Amino acid sequence: MNTKAFALRHIGPREDDQNLMLKTIGVDSLDQLIYETIPDDIRLKNGLNLDEPMTEHEYLLHIHDLSKLNKARKTYIGLGYHPTVMPAVIQRNILENPGWYTAYTPYQAEIAQGRLEALLNFQTMVIDLTGMEIANASLLDESTAAAEAMSLLFAVRERSQKKAGVNKFFVSENTLPQTLSLLQTRSAPIGVELVVGNEDTFDFSKEFFGALLQYPGKDGQITDIKTFINKANNADIKVAVAADILSLVKLEAPGKFGADVVVGTTQRFGIPMGYGGPHAAFFATKEAYKRDLPGRIIGVTKDANGNRALRMALQTREQHIKRDRATSNICTAQVLLAVMASMYAVYHGPKGLKFIANKIHNKAATLANALTKLGYEQVNTSYFDTLQIKTKAKKIKKIASEKKVNLHYPDKKTVTISINETTAIRDINYLISIFAEAAQKETIEISSVEEAHNIEQSVQRNTEFLTDTVFNTYHSETELMRYIKSLERKDLSLNHSMIPLGSCTMKLNAAAELLPLSWFKWGNIHPFAPLKQAKGYLTVLKELEDQLTEITGFAATSLQPNSGAQGEFAGLMVIKAYHESRGDHHRNICLIPSSAHGTNPASAVMAGMKVVVTKSTDEGNIDVDDLREKAELHKDNLSCIMVTYPSTHGVYESAIKEITKIIHDNGGQVYMDGANMNAQVGLTNPGNIGADVCHLNLHKTFAIPHGGGGPGVGPICVAKQLVPFLPGNPIVKTGGDKAITAISAAPFGSALVCLISYGYIKMLGAEGLTQATKIAILNANYIKHRLQGSFDTLYSGERGRAAHEMIVDCRAFKEHGIEVSDIAKRLMDYGFHAPTVSFPVAGTLMIEPTESESKAEMDRFCDAMISIKKEIDQASKDDTNNVLKNAPHTLEMITNDEWHFPYTRQEAAFPLEYVKDNKFWPSVRRVDDAYGDRNLICSCTPIEAYGEA
Ligand SMILES: *Cc1c(COP(=O)(O)O)cnc(C)c1O
């Protein structure tokens, strides 16, 4: 046995344990189990065709070699991405710390107060800098945030009686090209007509419901948003502003001028460019629109003792509740990146940010003066960091390229230069020398930076920001390190215990997969840098595409979508483009089984489709007769079906091939939601099942950590007929020959974290990947078996087996007055994060152990569940003072001099022996959700400010 094989590190149960587990569940071998689990007719005949696996050491050498093919040149391209300085204390304590990156989305608030606080800081930072009333805790990138702004303004237009039926949206021509492309993608399907034009000559006609401005514009000139918003308000046109967050330190907050929405990216707050992402976008708006806000809002509430506690507010599970009436399909966002950006603001504070912004502005002005002296025409009259030079671009480009400098050349007569946090005086001199050479003049040497005020008086910032204590306390490294640690200790992550979240696949995020993310030559590549400087990336991304194409059994892959839900939208838009290419513009019916994840119907509506829900049988399968009936009924207009496989009920439906055939026979395409790919890799695949497109969640199956709710990557893999339509990018050519417009801002989405999945596949190889799938299925069936007698499993395959996850029924416990949420909270006392609660069936838990969990850990979890079942048996409807209803128990409760509970402290906090070795203390008691929604507070406000409303 090669004890260095990565598969041995990734897969939890040792061989002896595997044998014990097989015996326990009553099969002779792993292959026997797989035979009993996966229907024969969909099993792959041959293994995957992938490279031989590398050990971790070999992989790190390999990825280091590839990094050398990237040229991290001095880059002044701008366009929404800038070199930045990630404080080392944030890199080491957050980015490289599994306590932060392996956490799940903070649905279980009592064991997530740390990241909730960091996200509340993020929202406060955004609210302060934008001058708006509320903000969410991150969206995927600036361009998708701008599209969400457009959708929000379109949705609220109906409430303005004057605007009913009005569908034109104005977009400034000075908007970033990738944002424009994304607005095109997102506007047409929902019936918005985009009008791109010059904001100075815009006529504020009543036919417009909204407008989007870039602040400062893409060429660097600061837009006069004050005048524009004024006029727009008079015409009842709502205005969204896409703002550069660092510039807002010096520019007046758009909220001051009456903007309705402000969006942007926080990449400049210490996040590496990473060839396009991931970075956290922000979205801020008025309180009046709080119910239309996409993504997640963190709110303040109180716990059972009346202490301050944080939680996700309002539409937390929005897609699952509202489905095709949801305001957006955003589920995974960019939590880890939002946490890091918020810490950048905590570390630097308002004074530090002003120092950084002033330095950038002054350096830009110093450069402008020198270039003017050399005879160049710098045309921006009011700017923050970007100069616009009118000259022969070709000449400058030639010299700059020779001198290894990246500038931006929007047209033949224009060069733009964006100064950033890393720009030194030496760099300014180097830039001057390039222009001097082009002008054939003696260069001008500068030795200091002049104080500058090249920002129009009317938009100079006067309002304070980041005045809260948290932004004015942790400015030494010791203090910040301890603050980060104090938050981390409140959160239960994979480095404490198993997180058995069904449908979310919380598996190992191996250190070797993650190490390269910190490396300079992966972090410091601009997404619009010339392709020859990004050869390392292009090699990795191409190979990852090929690997995923092979694994899914399709013809091609696009890595652009940066979440699963974005993948769904992308896949549907590709299907739509395919139908339209054949003249089938009318095909707009999307069949979705009732058990589908809520993002499915939400994405279908975004793609302009009409959702028709099909029934499930009592066994949890798709009701094939109902499906056939609906497919035939709508055959003239059928666009597609969205189907999850194995089903969200954790079953490999044996009718799947029949289902895909019914859809094809009626002219539709088959979209497979690939969130459950962990149950397929190496054993079956979507292509084999008869699907035409699927998205994958690289942050589930392919080892990208959840990061507390992002980043994610949701690539789509497609069959041959759909390849020409894969999404493009307006600056870097990507996608098919007839590419649809952009789905994400960057050409390859969140390229940096794609390294993780690439490493995962490289190190496991065909055999390791297949073994991982088999063990994921073994682990699930082992838990199913161990819980038998305590919990009933809803749904199983034809031979009584679970897939890689299972649903346990908790509805009968209502007799004892116990809800499924009580079990979730009680698990915290045992040191576990709850499984998925009430999805896809209300009143149930969905458990998914993944292949990475060892037998010992699963045994602890099962012991906890069985012990909780005994507690449930003792509970009574008539008395809610019990160990379940009072859960979770905090250290403060346990050590309190008073104890009013009918069970012992020991039973409350140390219910099983193993808990004593590794106790996790929830930092607050059960949070009050209703109170928080009634009194929405989503920024750091002094405690006195939120008394009973
Ligand atoms: C996780 C998941 C999604 C959504 O993925 P995000 O990355 O969170 O947008 C969609 N469908 C299913 C079945 C999922 O489990």
Q: Residue with the nearest Cα to atom 4 of ligand 1?
A: 564
Same domain flag for 813 and 734: no
Residue 577 and residue 645 share a domain: yes
Is-above-0.85 flag for pTM?
A: yes
- Position 947 scores a pLDDT of 44
Amino acid at 405: V
Q: 672 and 756: one domain? A: yes
Out of 725, 748, 766, a domain closes at 766
The phi, psi pair for 465, rounded to 5°, reads: -155, 160
In a domain? residue 81: no
Same domain as 779, residue 760: no
- What number does the ligand 1 atom closest to the CA of 567 have? 9
pLDDT tens for each residue of 107-164: 999 999 999 999 999 999 999 999 999 999 999 999 999 999 999 999 999 777 778 8
DSSP, res 927: B
In-domain check, residue 361 = no
Q: What is the largest CA-CA distance in the chain?
A: 91
**Same domain for 728 and 793?**
no
Going by alpha carbons, the residue nearest to atom 6 of ligand 1 is 564
Residues 555 and 696 in one domain: yes
Write the DSSP string, 723-763: GGGS---SSS--S-TT----SSSSTTSSHHHHHHHHHHHHH
CA distance 595 to 524: 43
How far away, in angstroms, is 331 Cα from ligand 1 center?
Answer: 7
What ligand 1 atom has the least distance to the C-alpha of 503? Answer: 15
Whether 792 and 758 map to the same domain: the answer is no
What values do phi and psi take at 527, rounded to 5? -65, -20
- Ligand 1 environment, Cβ below 6 A: 331-332, 503, 563-565, 597, 599, 644, 648, 673, 675, 697, 712, 714
CATH number for position 120: 3.40.640.10
Residue 2: predicted pLDDT: 86
Reference 123, options 711, 939, 933; nearest CA is 939
Q: Taking phi first (over 0 means left), then psi (-120 to 50 degrees means alpha), and beta for anything else, what does residue 323 get?
A: left
Q: Is 375 exposed, middle or buried (0-12, 13-18, 19+ CB in 10 A)?
A: exposed
Last residue of a domain, one of 766, 785, 817: 766
| Cβ atoms 848, 502 nearer than 8 A | yes
Atom 2 of ligand 1: nearest residue by CA position: 675
Residue 496, in any domain of the structure: no
Taking the centre of ligand 1 as the mean of its atom positions, its distance from the CA of residue 403, in whole angstroms, is 45
For a mutational test of ligand 1's pocket, the pick from 329, 599, 672, i.e. the residue with the most ligand atoms closer than 8 A to its C-beta, is 599
Parent domain of 175: 104-345
pLDDT of amino acid 160: 74
Residue 621 within any structural domain of the chain: yes
Task: Give the span between the Cα atoms of 385 and 400, in whole angstroms.
Answer: 19
User: Which of 328, 345, 362 is the endpoint of a domain?
Assistant: 345
Protein residue closest via CA to atom 3 of ligand 1:
564
Same domain, 824 and 869: yes
The reply to whether 459 falls in a domain is no
- Residues 778 and 677 occupy one common structural domain: no
Q: Which atom in ligand 1 lies closest to the alpha carbon of residue 700?
A: 1
Cα of 760 from ligand 1 centre, angstroms: 20
Query: Which stretches of 42-101 are assigned E, i.e. beta strand?
Result: 74-75
559 lies in some domain: yes
Q: For residue 913, give the CATH number of its domain.
A: 3.90.1150.10
CA 947 / ligand 1 centre spacing (Å): 37
Most ligand 1 atoms within 8 A of CB, residue of 503, 606, 694, 848 to mutate: 503
22: helix, strand or coil: helix
- In the chain, the number of structural domains is 3
Instruction: Give the single-character DSSP code of 903.
Output: S
pLDDT tens, residue by residue, 768-797: 999 999 999 999 999 999 999 999 999 888
CA distance 921 to 301: 20
Is 362 within a domain? Answer: no
Judge whether 524 and 676 are in contact, CB under 8 Å.
Answer: no
Q: Whose CA is nearest to atom 14 of ligand 1?
A: 675
Give the count of beta carbons closer than 10 Å to the beta carbon of residue 941.
13
Within a domain: residue 604? yes
The distance from CA 275 to its chain's CA centroid, rounded to whole angstroms, is: 17
Name the residue among 210, 228, 225 with its Cα closest to residue 153.
Answer: 210
Give the number of the atom of ligand 1 that is nearest the alpha carbon of residue 330.
Answer: 9
Reference 269, options 244, 252, 250; nearest CA is 244
Which of 697, 701, 805, 841 gets mutated to test ligand 1 (max ligand atoms within 8 A of its CB)? Answer: 697
For the segment 370-407, what is each residue's pLDDT rounded down to a tens digit?
Answer: 999 999 999 999 999 999 999 999 999 999 999 999 99
The list of the chain residues with pLDDT below 70 reads 315-318, 941-949
Q: Are residues 835 and 882 in the same domain?
A: yes
CB 517 within 8 A of CB 752: yes
Cα of 676 from ligand 1 centre, angstroms: 9
Residues 166 and 186 in one domain: yes
pLDDT of residue 494: 98
Q: Is the Cβ–Cβ distance between 497 and 912 less than 8 Å?
A: no
Does 140 share its domain with 167?
A: yes
**Ligand 1 pocket: which of 144, 331, 504, 804 to mutate (most atoms <8 Å of CB)?**
331
Say what the pLDDT of residue 317 is: 62
Distance of CA 922 to the CA centre of its chain: 26
Mutate which of 505, 597, 672 for ligand 1 pocket (most atoms within 8 A of beta carbon)? 597
Cβ atoms of 700 and 675 within 8 Å: the answer is yes
Length of the chain: 949
Q: How far is the CA of 599 from the centre of ligand 1 (A)?
A: 7
User: What does each C-alpha distance from 77 to 44, 273, 405, 526, 715 come to in angstroms?
Assistant: 47, 12, 10, 8, 27
For helices 477-488 and 335-373, the axis angle rounded to 10 degrees is 150
Instruction: Count the alpha carbons within 13 Å of 680 in the hemisphere toward its beta carbon.
Output: 31
